[in-house]
Structure formats: C-alpha cells, structure tokens
Amino acid sequence: MNIDILLGLQWGDEGKGKIVDAISPDYDIIARFQGGPNAGHSLEFNNKKYVLHLIPSGIFHSDKLNIIGNGVVIDPAVFKTEIENLGPSVEELSERLIISARANLILPGHRILDAAYEKSKGCLKIGSTLKGIGPAYTDKIARNGLRAGEILREDFRDLYNRHLKRHLSILKSYDFNFDLKEYETGWFEGIEMLKKFRIVNTEYLINEMVSGGKKVLAEGAQGTMLDVDFGSYPFVTSSNTISAGACTGLGISPKSINEVFGIFKAYCTRVGSGPFPTELNDDTGALLRDIGNEFGSTTGRPRRCGWLDIPALKYAIMINGVTRLFMTKSDVMSGFTTIKVCTSYLSEGRKCKEIPFNDLPVEPVYTELPGWEENIAGIREYDNLPRNLKGYIKYIEDQTGVPVTMISVGPDREETIIRKPL
Ligand code: GDP
Ligand code: IMO
Ligand code: MG
C-alpha cells in the first residue's frame, strides 16, 4: 500500500505539475504512467518556471528517482530538448531518471499521421496537440509499436524503416503534404540521447522498491474527462488517464494503491474541441482566462474557461476512487461578487445528473455562492482564508463527500496550503 496516485479530474491542466513537485519530498519515486508530450506540466520555484512534457515532475528533487512508465508514449526528439533545457547535466539526470523498456515510441510518421487525420476531420477535428499521440497508441494497441527497449538492437534502423514504410503507405490515402526530414533528424538525435539513460523493466524496479518500503507517487497526465473510455469521446486523448491507468501504465497491482489524489481547478478549463457544459463565452470567461493566464502549456492555445462543474467532478471522483481533493487556482477566483457552480444539467428540458455518453448538448443548472475580494496568494494557513472561500470549499466537500485537503493559491511550489498532511 505504498503507492499514491495524483491525477486530474477535469479536462487537463489542473495544476498537476505544480502539486507533484510540491509533494515530491514525501516520496522516493515519482512515476508518469500514461500520455506523452501532449502533456505540459508547469512548475515554479525560485522565480523560475519550467514546463515538463515527458519527464515526471519530481525531477528537480535531486534525491528522488523518476520513472517514465510503460504506459507513456515517448517522442525521442521532445525528450532530448526537454533534457537539455532542464539545467542539470545529462550525467546527473541519468542517475535519477529511468525509462521503461516497454514504453512505445512516437515515430515521425505518427506525428505526420496525427496532422493528416486532424486535417481530414475538418470541423469535427479533436483539437489534438499534434504530438502524434493518437497514432502512436493506435500502433501500440494494433501490436505494431516500436518500443524504447528496442533502440539498442543492431537492426534498429531496419525496424524503423519498416514502420516508416507502413506509415507512408497509409499517408498516401490522405491529401496531406509533409516534410519527413524535418522530424527525422531531431528524432534520431533523440534516440542517441535516450541511449544515455537506463532503459529497463521498470515494473520490477517499482515493485521491488515498494516491497522494500519505498513510497511511489504516480503522476497522471491530461484529465479524467479526456480519458479514452470515460471522457467526452471522441474528443479525448488516446490513453486511460484514470487511476486504473496507473496499474497498466506502471505494472502495479490495485492492491498496492493507497490514496488517490484528485486535483481540480476552482473553475474549469478545456483546450481543444468537445463538449464543455459550463463554458463561458462571455466577459466572465475572458476574465478567468486573463487572470488565470489560461493558455496551453504545450501549444499556447487559449483555454476555454467556465464555472466549476460538480456532476463532472463527482463522476471523476467515482471513476477514480478519489480519497482526497486538491483544489488549485483558488487565487484566480478572488474578486468575483458571486460564483456560480453547476449542480445538475438539463437535457432536452429534463433534469439529469449523469454525464451523457455522447456529445448530446446539456444545459447547466447553477447554484450561486458569495465570492470574496481578498488577494489570497500570500496566505499559508487554511484558517486565514476568506470566509466565503472556506464556504466554497465546504460546499464542494458536501456535494462530493470528499475532503479538500490541499489548496493552491499560486503557481509557486510554496504557494500551497496543506490542510491535512500526506
Ligand atoms: P498541469 O498540466 O495539470 O500540470 O497544469 P498546467 O501546468 O498545464 O497548467 C496549470 C497552470 O496554472 C500553470 O501555468 C501553473 O503554473 C499554474 N498554476 C498552478 N497552480 C496554480 C494556482 O494555484 N494559482 C495560479 N494562479 N496558478 C497556478
Ligand atoms: P496535461 O497533462 C489539456 C487535449 C487536446 C485535445 C485532446 C486530444 O498538461 O493536463 P492529443 O494531443 O492527446 O491527441 O489531444 O486532448 N489534451 C490536453 N488538454 N492538458 C493536457 O495535458 C492535454 N493533453 C491533451 O487539447 O483536445
Ligand atoms: Mg498542462
């Protein structure tokens, strides 16, 4: 029971990177279990901001082991850039970052296919980050993948060419221009960078360390509403972002899981296409985007903003078995006279509390709560928070039945209120 999971309960960008970094001192291993460079996890400390795409958010703690699990899809080119931008030397980083031999690689063909598929979808496009995620997971499931453990094989180049041939033949049926060389050069340089790291059966490593009493934090990417099974399909990512994904994405048993930390913003955002019942296409939405600096960490796209959606939050809590809630970006909500919270939906004129399985439009039913004026960024004690913010938190706890034990009041790792220690 030494593994805790931290994952997003909304449509991604809940602040996972910030919180994983802040709580890493409590763990020995930080392990990413799914997703790939579509993720953008930001963290800030000592007045510096970093955005991680593939590397777990515990990497800045020199005494922690970080693992990229088998459930992650790795683009070697992105990996190389990220390693080079971190600060510490490659030698130092290779001591504390280990990669699963079973993790599938994102190939140049996957990136091109991603763009070709999106273009062919026209106005029904998913709004993918175009990092090759969908095609890479498609090949994995179709048993056509190329895995990290393969890169040391002598015939690796032949293997690669075989995959490329297959991708090029699919691309022939799409009206899509591309420059393969542009991707290939960086990709092969990335392969050389990957070779400097230990690529092992991380499932043995994690299980052995857990048996020896070490503590693991499994770091999710994206969010529950982007899960391929339970999100707003087809406007989702291509992996299981939920707590079950940590078992398949790291090779751990459900019995080894202790707590599931569900992280949510005090409001909602979404980047890319798909249903978003509480979206605000008005000045309030624009204000949330401005104050919250809601622009994608990976693509820079403006995020769609809206009020907190309790039915979606409850759904995510149910699917993941969340034991504690962590609320982020509470500081962004300061200054609103009233705050709306969606408590149910109207579907074809009838009240419903369930998330429709398809993209049937639903209309949010709101409850209004009093806002607060105070700037809360400097507050570190729960008791010192404005009364109405505490009322907002209490309302969420009553609605969901799960305690909110951590409140983030700013992007810096220090700007965190711990109500109940881990
Ligand atoms: P992630 O993908 O879940 O790790 O989240 P992102 O890093 O993509 O987006 C969260 C953004 O909010 C980042 O720019 C963070 O630096 C920032 N952030 C995180 N927590 C807080 C908070 O409590 N308040 C404010 N104002 N910003 C925060
Ligand atoms: P983090 O880990 C927010 C969205 C994309 C698109 C859909 C599919 O930073 O929270 P994909 O590239 O996976 O094919 O895109 O999912 N998306 C994210 N949105 N945060 C993310 O990651 C996301 N990763 C993918 O915008 O709508
Ligand atoms: Mg993000």
Q: 39-92 pLDDT, tens per residue?
A: 999 999 999 999 999 999 999 999 999 999 999 999 999 999 999 999 999 999
Nearest ligand 1 atom to alpha carbon 44:
16
Residue to substitute in 329, 414, 418 for testing ligand 1 pocket (most ligand atoms within 8 angstroms of CB):
329
> Which ligand lies nearest the alpha carbon of 233?
2
pLDDT at 360 over 80: no
pLDDT at 359 over 80: no
Residues serving a catalytic function are: 13, 41
What percentage of the chain has pLDDT greater than the value 90?
A: 94
pLDDT at residue 308, rounded to an integer: 98
Residues with Cβ within 8 Å of residue 231, at least 6 apart in sequence: 223, 224, 225, 237, 241
Going by pLDDT thresholds of 50, 70 and 90, the confidence category of residue 264 is very high
Residue nearest to atom 8 of ligand 1 (CA): 13
Nearest ligand 2 atom to alpha carbon 223:
10
Residue nearest to atom 26 of ligand 2 (CA): 272
Residue nearest to atom 21 of ligand 1 (CA): 411
pLDDT at residue 290, rounded to an integer: 95
> Which ligand lies nearest the alpha carbon of 18?
1
- Ligand 1 pocket (Cβ < 6 Å) reads 8, 12-18, 40-42, 44, 297, 328-329, 331-332, 408-411
pLDDT at 353 over 90: no
Distance 392 CA to ligand 2 centre (A): 28
Residue nearest to atom 6 of ligand 1 (CA): 13
Nearest ligand 2 atom to alpha carbon 299:
26
pLDDT at residue 348, rounded to an integer: 85
Distance 40 CA to ligand 3 centre (A): 4
pLDDT at residue 3, rounded to an integer: 98
- Ligand 2 pocket (Cβ < 6 Å) reads 8, 12-13, 35, 38-41, 126-129, 131, 133-134, 221-223, 226, 237, 271-272, 297
18: how many CB neighbours lie within 10 A of its CB?
Answer: 26
Residue nearest to atom 12 of ligand 1 (CA): 15
> Which ligand lies nearest the alpha carbon of 128?
2
pLDDT at residue 299, rounded to an integer: 84
Residues with Cβ within 8 Å of residue 173, at least 6 apart in sequence: none
pLDDT at residue 358, rounded to an integer: 83
Q: Read off the tokens for 324.
A: 């504690």
pLDDT at 356 over 90: no
* Range 364-384 average pLDDT: 97
pLDDT at residue 352, rounded to an integer: 86
Distance 342 CA to ligand 2 centre (A): 23
Distance 293 CA to ligand 1 centre (A): 9
Residue, of 374 and 353, whose pLDDT is higher: 374
> Which ligand lies nearest the alpha carbon of 35?
2
pLDDT at 248 over 90: yes
Distance 81 CA to ligand 1 centre (A): 22
pLDDT digits (tens, 9 = 90+) for 151-175: 999 999 999 999 999 999 999 999 8
Nearest ligand 2 atom to alpha carbon 14:
10
What percentage of the chain has pLDDT greater than the value 70?
A: 100
As a whole number of angstroms, the distance between CA 78 and CA 84 comes to 10
pLDDT at 320 over 90: yes
Nearest ligand 2 atom to alpha carbon 40:
9
